[in-house]
Structure 1
Amino acid sequence: MKRHEARSKAMQVLFQLDNTELELTIDEAISHVLNEDESDSFFEKLVRGTFTKKQEIDAALEQKLENWSLYRLPKIERTVLRLAVYELLYMEETPNNVVLNEAIELCKTYGDEKSSKFVNGVLSKFVE
């Protein structure tokens, strides 16, 4: 699985876990998104790491958001931000500009043009 695809699938898993009325486990959400596809270590690290560090990530995001609370954000933006902040804070092997570009692409795919600009603005505060 290429890294862009891993990020996209990780975003889908995290979105499901954050926004479902069902009580899904992380393994059930992963299974649902992957369907028959093979998992890989990068994907697993993104999903499990973001899920595990959610409180720390949310606290870091709250400090960077201006005039917004995390739970007022649209669900796509919130999920993409969490995923990208996990990568910025805990996966130092990925260059910051790659993380920002990938987050913007995820927003363009799953959100709208405004969401990509908003996410770029928030994430740029983490790399200043």
Structure 2
Amino acid sequence: MPTSARPAPGELPPPVEGAERIRTVQQPKGTLTSTRSKARRAAVDLLFEADQRGLNAGDLLDQRVATPAGQSPLREYTVRLVRGVVENWNGINEVLATYSRGWPLERMPAVDRAILRVGAWELEYNDDVPAGVAISESVELAKALSTDDSPTFVNGLLSRIAQVVGDSGTTEQEPEGDRAL
């Protein structure tokens, strides 16, 4: 019986006759790789968890800061995002409800609400992030975490909000009759 040579390190063994070829694992669509992208993802995860468990997001954040659930503590930007959303909760929800024509917050999927809250906070309250980046990052989160229709919805709603946010970061009054997305 012939003996087969072992493959060199880093090489794949020759295919076994009759076996199906194994596909390589690819990065999922909407992969988030930058430090801030990962911080946004963690903020969305925390807001989503609080929503699903019926907890106050600020209290859950405080628990996670005191006792991290994972091996590493929360990123500074994750903490900033969640605290910002919690501190401006009513204003963010009001803006989202105003411009999400026909979609009350309660009707939106919980993950979309979390993504939209993070995106809206960045648009309205964080001058460090350009509007295009905030929207793009939120769309990528929706691609990675939500339904096929969510990226379009998130993009449309946040783009509309960005149109009415002034340079000062506060929402300007919109002319009557132009409330649609």
- The answer, yes or no, to whether TM exceeds 0.5 is yes
4+ runs of 1 displaced by more than 4 Å? Answer: 21-24, 29-34
Once residues 66 and 46 of structure 2 are traced to their aligned partners in structure 1, the CA distance between those partners, rounded to angstroms, is 9
Tell me the distance in 1 between the aligned counterparts of 2:42 and 2:80: 12
Partner of 1:99: 134
Deviation at 1:21, TM superposition (A): 4.2
Deviations 1:25-77 (A, max 9, x none): 22225567751213332221101111221111001111101111111111111
Gaps of 5+ in 2: 1-33, 164-181
Q: Does 1:122 align with 2:161?
A: no
* Structure of greater Rg: 2
**Alpha-carbon distance in 2 for matches of 1:10, 1:97:** 19
Q: How many residues are paired up?
A: 128
Task: Select between 37-46 and 48-57 the one with higher mean Cα deviation.
Answer: 37-46
User: What residue identity is the alignment partner of 2:50?
Assistant: L
User: 5+ residue gaps in structure 1?
Assistant: none
Q: How far does the alpha carbon of each residue in 1:62-94 deviate from its partner, in whole angstroms, 9 at most, with x for none?
A: 110111111111111111001100111110110
Instruction: State the superposition RMSD in angstroms.
Output: 2.1
Matched, 1:47 2:82: yes
What percent of counterpart residues are identical?
30
1:39-118 equivalences in 2 (<5 Å): 39-118=74-153
Is 1:11 the counterpart of 2:41 in the alignment? Answer: no
TM-score, normalization by structure 1: 0.89
Partner of 2:114, secondary structure, is helix
CA shift digits 1:7-33 (9 cap, x unpaired)? 000100111111214677222255677
